[in-house]
Amino acid sequence: MAHTVPDISLNDGNTIPQLGFGVYQIGPKDTAEAVSRALEIGYRHIDTAEMYGNEAEVGEAIRACGLDRGEVFVTSKLNNGFHRPEDARKAFESTLSALKMDHIDLFLIHWPLPTRYDGDFVSTWKALEEFQRDGRARSIGVSNFQVPHLERLAAEADVVPAVNQIEVHPYLTNEQVRAYGDAHNILTEAWSPIAQGKVLDDPTIVDIAEQVGRTPAQVVLRWHVQRGDIVFPKSTTPKRIEENFRIFDFTLDDTAMERISGLDKGETGRTGPNPDVFDYIPA
Ligand code: NAD
């Protein structure tokens, strides 16, 4: 089947669809409609977070779509304000109750916040290990963890994160963090995979898109999946939601792959904050 999304194995034996739908910056009023559209098109993986303020509407769309709960992979993330284990337990319960689900497929620490909570993200991680042990989180992982943060978990925790969700796109290829993941069986999830649209008019991307007869967004998303990363582009435009789904019926050759990887600008290519210093806690 030309449009089948591959399932990838996680280090805990579960699987995750390589392509999903992200709902960051989709207001609660628009979320149910966008997620419903994505599910109709064939997406079976939704990426939300407590801090996005739209978990309830994600749950609503999934309940309304007629698919069994087990057919849709749902990820959410811990609010930065709730890293202390007792707070994390309450926050996780409120995520499940907002989604109206008895379990979640993947739960992540959203940011490491190394300058907060006395730099202690290990206790937070141990709370997530509890959620996995009691079956309410099928898989657990982290987001925005840099190599030293991952090394610290490796030294002090029991469970290796199933994924690390980090900023990755052609202007920030984030090779060092990806390589640590490869070496330690932690899958990389690439957030802002099209750099919120900023890479789409890059002349190299446009040139490759013309050569392969695809759109710039499809070319960039295809580059990610050929590198083995998981992606969940966001859009509220039905045509784009569909376009972003059609990336499994063509391939990029090695030259195209290398040209895209060559666009890396390192740190200056970041569109989001640097996880080493990011310390935002919602009011
Ligand atoms: P993205 O790279 O997916 O870009 C989204 C924007 O690109 C849209 O708002 C739209 O303007 C444009 N766009 C989408 N499809 C297009 C197309 N086919 N043609 C032209 N323009 C198009 O950015 P994102 O939303 O920041 O990232 C995707 C998802 O990653 C989020 O929704 C969220 O789930 C996740 N995320 C996680 C973190 C984290 O800290 N863990 C941070 C940011 C995003």
Q: Is 252 in the pocket of ligand 1 (CB under 6 A)?
A: no
Helical packing angle, 216-227 and 203-212, nearest 10°: 90
Q: Residue range 25-54: average pLDDT?
A: 98
Q: How far is the CA of 24 from the centre of ligand 1 (A)?
A: 7
Q: Residue range 201-228: average pLDDT?
A: 98
Position 1 scores a pLDDT of 46
Q: Is 233 in the pocket of ligand 1 (CB under 6 A)?
A: yes
Please choose, from the candidates 156, 128, 157, the residue with its C-alpha nearest in 3D space to the C-alpha of residue 142.
128
Position 112 scores a pLDDT of 98
Instruction: Give the predicted TM-score (pTM) of the model.
Output: 0.98
Residue 203, pLDDT > 80, answer yes
Q: What is the four-CA torsion angle of 222, 220, 163, 48, rounded to 10 degrees?
A: -110
- 12-23 confidence digits (pLDDT tens): 999 999 999 999
Residue 84, pLDDT > 80, answer yes
- 108-161 confidence digits (pLDDT tens): 999 999 999 999 999 999 999 999 999 999 999 999 999 999 999 999 999 999
Percent of the chain with pLDDT over 90: 99
Q: Is 171 in the pocket of ligand 1 (CB under 6 A)?
A: no
Please choose, from the candidates 130, 202, 139, the residue with its C-alpha nearest in 3D space to the C-alpha of residue 169.
202
Share the mean pLDDT of the chain: 98
> 219, 205 in Cβ contact below 8 A?
yes
Q: Is 24 in the pocket of ligand 1 (CB under 6 A)?
A: yes
Q: Is 145 in the pocket of ligand 1 (CB under 6 A)?
A: no
Position 206 scores a pLDDT of 99
Distances (CA, A) of 151 to 147, 157, 176, 179, 180: 6, 10, 13, 13, 9
Q: How far is the CA of 191 from the centre of ligand 1 (A)?
A: 7
Phi/psi at 68 (nearest 5 deg)?
Answer: -70, 150
Reported confidence tier of residue 2, pLDDT bands at 50, 70, 90: low
User: Given the DSSP bridges, would you call strands 7-9 and 15-17 parallel, antiparallel or unpaired?
Assistant: antiparallel
Q: How far is the CA of 32 from the centre of ligand 1 (A)?
A: 17
Segments of 144-227 assigned E as strands:
163-167, 187-191
197: left (phi over 0), alpha (psi -120 to 50) or beta: left
Residue with CA at minimum distance from ligand 1 atom 14: 235
Q: Is 43 a catalytic residue?
A: no
Residue 79, pLDDT > 70, answer yes
Residue with CA at minimum distance from ligand 1 atom 12: 197
